[in-house]
Structure 1
Amino acid sequence: MFCKSLLKSGLLACKQESPSGLKCTASAFSPVCEGRYRTASTAVRDKLKTIDDLDGPSFLTSLYWFFGKGYFKVAHQMQIEHSKLYGPLWKSTYGPLVVINVASADMIEQVLRQEGRYPVRTDMPHWRRYRDLRQQAYGPLTEMGAEWLRIRSILNPRMLKPKHVSSYTNAINEVVTDFVKKLALLRATKGNGVLVHDVAGELYKFAFEGISSVLFETRLGCLNEVVPEETQKFIFSVGEMFRLSPIVVLFPKSVWPYMPFWKHFVSVWDHLFKVADDLVRKKMAQIDEDVKRGEPVDGEYLTHLLISKQMSLTEVLGSITELLLAGVDTTSNTISWALYHLAREPEIQERLHKEVVSVCPGEKVPSSEDLSKMPWLKAIIKETLRLYPVVPGNARVTAESEIVVGGYVFPKNTLFHLCHYAVSYDETIFPEPHTFLPQRWLREHKHPDHHPFGSVPFGFGIRACLGRRVAELEMYLILTLRHWLLTAFTVYHHELWPNAEVSAKFTDLSI
């Protein structure tokens, strides 16, 4: 989330996590018992190396890499270069901050297998400071410890259980349909019949509308021909919050109130909470009306949170706002890259089209059951996420005890940076790592050395990305329904580059 820009500067990451239930890889230095790592015995610990034995760049060296060698904007590439210089485990120093970088699938697994009951990524001090200032509740991204676990246990079922997630299919299908209509309109009115400007920007609006339709059970109008002013301001506030977050966090807490950008940072958060509060109270009023009329209360995610009364209204507001923020970039960025490769490699796109049509012939709208019959579609998304992880790294703090990783013992409160980007390009796990090969994810084509922690775009364990299944559902449906409506049209060429204003050309299939 807020670490998106910090990730770019190579410091931290905190937006991902993923599937559990994977077999544990034992290490000669990491005894395993019933799938859980135990603290090494005193005799074994005496033979282990310590953090002082690790090599790595000094603070000045890191600054030189960032600004002298130009890696500040492509710090994910620096993961690969540093792993070549220092090996799969090294330390980086940023002033008083020491970060342990892990660029090996085996060692990443070792860290995550030892993360404890209450995994910690970072304390997100600037987000927490705002909540303290305005007496807002912490949510799943800002809360920690036992309270975090309590909140997650309430939020999880309706976001992660397939039977509940499948109930969001109709709402997301409606958003996808409107998105395709919006592209058709832009193509017809502003693109000479073929060109759609700023496709990445339109995908961002799609993702915003999609997650809002699930969380708030309402449409915000992001895909209208003219976006409502209040919605436009809401979208702008989200962007400003992400822009300002990495700036704020670079300064000591004590000086925040005196910095010129702090007031603006607080004001955009105020607007985000105001809009969220309005939507939550609107849903509460609707529920009250239904109850008064003796009608069944209809709704999914927000409705469930409100009527279950497992959380206070303030907690619902804090959690729903953070979930909204977490659900935009994941979807829009991944779809942008998927479309980029489908456009460049028409044979992959044609195979996807045939798969979709075989499962959903004619004008059949894809359902969640239909998606389970589309392995090529899912392989395309997995390969896209491998090449372009939502965030290139992930942070973990050993908050509960010391742990052993790769023959080194690390004390409590060690900060780890898990270099997912570097591991995703490890040719021993993924042959031809720079080539877009969805077939590598099909069972019959899997490489014998495939490692379950080679690509974990949504993380691992109990701190796995809460919005994973909803994000996947959005991505699957936009690619399938896009082809269904796009007997419509298909991409034949474009220059799509996420996070930039780019254009895409479309042509009718009948031509």
Structure 2
Amino acid sequence: MTKLTLDMELLENVPYLDQLLDFLKGKEELLPKSLTGRAILVGTIAGVTVYLITKKRYNLPPGPRGLPLLGNLLEFRNARIYEKMMEWKAKYGPVVKFNIGHIAIVGLNSIDVVMEAMVKRQADFAGRVHLYSTLLLTDGGRSIVIGDYSPTWKLHRKLATKALRYYMTGTHLDEGIKRTLTKTIGLIKERKGPFNPHDIISLTVFNIINNICFNFTCEVSDNYFRDMLQVLNIFLDEFGNGFLEDIIPPLRLFPTKKLKSIMKETDKFFGLLNEELVKHRQTIRKDTIRDFCDALLLAQEEAYQEEDPDVMSQITDRHIVQTLSDIFGAGMDTSRITLLWTLLALAQHPDIQDKLHTEVDHVLGGREFPSVSDRSNLPYTEAVLHESMRLYMVAPCGIPHKTLCDTKVGGYDIPKGTTVIINHYALHQDPEQWSEPHIFNPDRFLDQNGKMAAKPDSWLPFSAGRRVCLGESVAKPELHLLLAGIMRHFKVSLPPGAKVNTEPRGGSFFTLPQDYEISFESKV
């Protein structure tokens, strides 16, 4: 069969072709005059027809219809993405397709489809979305958190995991916790009356992360700490629902004030990290690994000594700075925001706080600071943190994934290159998984003996699969020991007559507590 015969047979089966032919009858003036022009027109119609008939068909998930060019963008004017996806779940089911501008997105809103995607088909969903803004903010995607799944990503993930595991061995974490809490407790005791704990809690977590990366701690008045904190705060406050430049390309020629502001702060942040990197290179010793930065520099030196061009190109200074940035950004924000939400919840629930104090005081006895070995004996403290992370999600949409191949989830086809969002908020608020999900109740994580029960599948603050949070192994024990240490020394309460607003601020990707004040009453 010739191609012409095939094309004519296909044309005969095109829907509405007869209407098109009827329309053209008597309207020869609309057709090209020359034989060549008419041949090109017929060829074009035939080619488009063959494409439409033979292109791959997908059984795509259901979802709301959007507007041309804008997609469903306008529906997020007065609603956060995770809230809107929960609304759509009730209408379309747990797998929902929608568009933000030209970007096709699939939202996963129940634990069954999330586990299918992130665990059963984890290799299919291991990619990251490379938007214009994320490439700018991560030096072309050199970040572990944002970087696409690749040999370079796997190398840096392996190096970072090894370095963090080293920090968790021996007495490193215990020493860091004691050093940090000593500063924190002293600063709190200096304050009189109710105050906003934001800066002190930020310093507490910052010193843990900075100690891991650069082996030193700061005072709240240090310029280095103040500069780093300013960058992190501006990013959280201004990120919101993302950047218009990602969905309206012409704006990239004339960036918005928001993007320019965040890029300015990001450049400052990378500059501070580069300064510490230079200092470490000047003082590093092969026989002593002081911190995470040393570990990365030694790995770089080994690659250069072996003259392996592939590895050398994957572990440049630009890669190292991005990896350090990942540890700071992810570790700092998740932990400090979780602690701020937890302190507010404890101030609101004195009965829960009393139970926590009883446990901490019994386990620590006369000691001022907890250690890693105490963790198994502090289940209620851990349950309080688990409940805080469930009810007050720091990153309710997580970090968007990207499919690396054509795949499936929930019975639907998901084409290669699709952006996929896990709605952690929906998982943590699902009434089918949690009894009275809007109530702060740490007991839901304990068994009948008061020990930590098996982790519920639907509790997923650190995600799952190949892109599980890099810092989970540090964040969980760090938060556990910091909260126990603070509660060993203080009771927290709301000022008389204070009205608490638990409506989170921030956009779709970060949820922070509103500014609040609490009182710290010394116990020790």
TM-score (norm 1): 0.76
Q: Gaps spanning 5+ residues in structure 1: where?
A: 1-48, 188-193
Matched with 1:175 is 180
Q: Taking structure 1 as reference, are residues 314 and 406 closer, same or farther at Cα in structure 2, changes over 3 Å only? A: closer
Change (3 A) 1:87 1:468: same
Q: What is the SS of the residue equivalent to 2:521?
A: strand
Shift of 1:116: 0.6
CA distance in 2, matches of 1:397, 1:81: 21
The aligned counterpart of 2:194 is: 195
5 Å-filtered alignment, 1:116-265, equals 116=123, 119-129=126-136, 132=139, 138-144=142-148, 145-160=150-165, 163-164=168-169, 167-187=172-192, 194-196=193-195, 198-221=196-219, 223=220, 227-242=221-236, 246-247=242-243, 249-250=245-246, 252=248, 255-259=251-255, 261=257, 263-265=260-262
Superposed CA deviations along residues 225-279 of structure 1, whole A, max 9, x for unmatched, are xx23343233223333455553364454564353263554443222112111111
Residue among 20, 30, 54 paired with 2:62: 54
| Counterpart Cα distance in 2 of 1:435 and 1:429 | 14
For the Cα contact (< 8 Å) 2:62–2:96, is it kept in 1?
Answer: yes
* 8 A Cα contact 2:338 2:394, kept in partner: yes
> How far is the alpha carbon of 1:509 from its aligned partner?
4.7
Contact 2:163 2:292 in 1 (8 A): yes
2:102 corresponds, among 82, 96, 99, to 96
1:320–1:118 Cα change, 3 Å: farther
C-alpha displacement of 1:346: 1.7
* 1:407-486 equivalences in 2 (<5 Å): 407-444=411-448, 452-486=456-490
**Residues 346 and 353 of structure 2 are in contact (CA less than 8 Å); yes or no, is this contact kept in structure 1?**
yes
What SS class does the counterpart of residue 409 from structure 1 fall into? strand
1:307 aligns with 2:317: no
In 1, the alpha carbon distance for the partners of 2:332 and 2:501 equals 18
Q: For residue 264 of structure 2, what is the aligned residue in structure 1?
A: 267
Q: Secondary structure at the match of 1:503?
A: coil
Q: Gaps (5+ residues) in structure 2?
A: 1-56, 304-314, 503-511
Q: Which residue of 2 aligns with 1:10?
A: none
SS state at 2:243 partner: helix
Quote how far apart the aligned CAs of 1:53 are. Answer: 5.6
Instruction: Give the corresponding residue for 2:14.
Output: none
Paired position in structure 2 for 1:66? 76
Name which of 278, 281, 288 aligns with 1:281.
Answer: 278
Counterpart Cα distance in 1 of 2:171 and 2:249: 43
Match of 1:404 in 2: 408
Q: Deviations over 1:81-138 (max 9, x none)?
A: 2222222222112222221121111011111121317811322432423565xxx881
**SS of residue paired to 2:216:** coil
Q: Aligned letter for 1:507?
A: E
Closer, same or farther in 2 for the Cα pair 1:121/1:450, shift >3 Å?
farther
- Any conservation in 1 of the 2:63–2:88 contact (CA below 8 Å)? no
User: If you compute each CA radius of gyration, which structure gives the higher value, 1 or 2?
Assistant: 2
Q: Output the CA distance in 2 between the equivalents of 1:243 and 1:258.
A: 22
The answer to whether the 8 Å contact 2:393/2:424 transfers is yes
CA contact (8 A) 1:169 1:473 kept: no
Q: CA deviation at 1:330?
A: 0.3
Alignment check: 8 A CA contact 2:489 2:523 kept: no
Distance in 2 between the 1:496 and 1:177 partners?
31
* More deviation, 407-416/433-442: 407-416
Residues 376 and 235 of structure 1: CA distance in aligned 2, closer, same or farther (over 3 Å): same
Range 107-116 or range 174-183, more displaced: 174-183
Code of the aligned partner of 1:98:
A
User: CA separation in 2, counterparts of 1:154 and 1:461?
Assistant: 18
User: CA–CA distance in 1 between the matches of 2:407 and 2:141?
Assistant: 32
Measured after TM superposition, the shift of residue 450 of structure 1 is 8.8
Q: The residue matched to 1:91 in structure 2 has which SS? A: strand
Letter in 2 for 1:276: L
- 1:491 aligned onto 2:493: yes
CA contact (8 A) 1:137 1:315 kept: no
| Distance (whole Å) between structure 1 residues aligned to residue 290 and residue 230 of structure 2 | 28
Distance 2:61 2:360 in 1: 54
Distance in 2, matches of 1:336 and 1:168, equals: 21
Q: TM-score, normalised by structure 2?
A: 0.74
Whether the aligned pair in 2 keeps the contact of 1:496 and 1:504 (CA below 8 Å) is no
Length, aligned pairs only:
434
2:117 paired residue number: 111
After the TM superposition, list the runs of 4 or more consecutive aligned residues in structure 1 that deviate by more than 6 angstroms.
Answer: none
Preserved contact between residue 134 and residue 141 of structure 2 (Cα < 8 Å): no
2:380 is matched with which residue: 376, 379, 397? 376
> Whole-Å Cα distance in 1 between the matches of residues 423 and 521 of structure 2?
40
CA distance in 2, matches of 1:53, 1:374: 44
Q: 2: distance between equivalents of 1:402 and 1:453?
A: 26
1:501 aligns with 2:503: no
Identity of aligned residues (%): 21
| Matching residue of 1:16 | none
- Please report how far the alpha carbon of residue 56 of structure 1 lies from its aligned counterpart in structure 2 after TM superposition: 2.5
Partner of 1:191: none
In 2, the alpha carbon distance for the partners of 1:254 and 1:220 equals 43
Distance 2:199 2:383 in 1: 25
SS of 1:90's partner is strand
For 1:82 and 1:54, the matched residues in 2 are separated by: 10
After TM superposition, give the deviation of residue 163 of structure 1 in Å: 4.2
Task: Give the whole-Å Cα distance in 2 for the aligned partners of 1:396 and 1:321.
Answer: 19
State the Cα distance separating 1:467 from its structure 2 match: 1.2
Counterpart for residue 82 of structure 2: 76
